[in-house]
Amino acid sequence: MTAYDQSNIFAKILRGEIPCVKIYEDEAALAFMDIMPRADGHALVIPKVPARGILDMPPERLGPYMQAVQKVAAAVKTGMKAEGLTLQQFNESAGGQVVFHLHFHVLPRWDGVALRPHTGKMAPAESLEDFAGRIRAAL
């Protein structure tokens, strides 16, 4: 098993070293807007436990974390008036993981609207704040 890297961007966000557009926080998880969204309202939910991937998460901490994922997913769907959701979770490079801290992508979806490609382009802060406000209001 590869060791957890305390210098990853999500660990820095948890420590308050890097800002985020926060949506939700409890004892188990932090949810915030993805700065390179593939859909309007694209959110990330990370555990407060230093887990590299799903297989590294202590089983007793997985339940509370998944409850937070579910809560945020419901708020994203309602707040964004989405018709559906896509949840994505990747493990290790071969599985598509880029940031090596466990996280779920919560992507609101609408019929006929494809996900945008991951281009590395950052969204305007105003749009992230707008979407976060809608999602927070639905919590």
Q: How many helices (H) and strands (E) does the chain have?
A: 3, 5
The CA distance from 73 to 60, in Å, is 21
DSSP run (H or E) holding 74: helix 59-79
The CA distance from 24 to 135, in Å, is 9
Catalytic residue among 42, 101, 103, 105: 103
103 is catalytic: yes
Q: Which residues pair with 133 in a beta bridge?
A: none
Question: By three-state DSSP, how is residue 47 classified?
Answer: strand
The CA distance from 42 to 36, in Å, is 9
Burial class (CB in 10 A: 0-12, 13-18, 19+), 108: buried
Catalytic residue list: 103
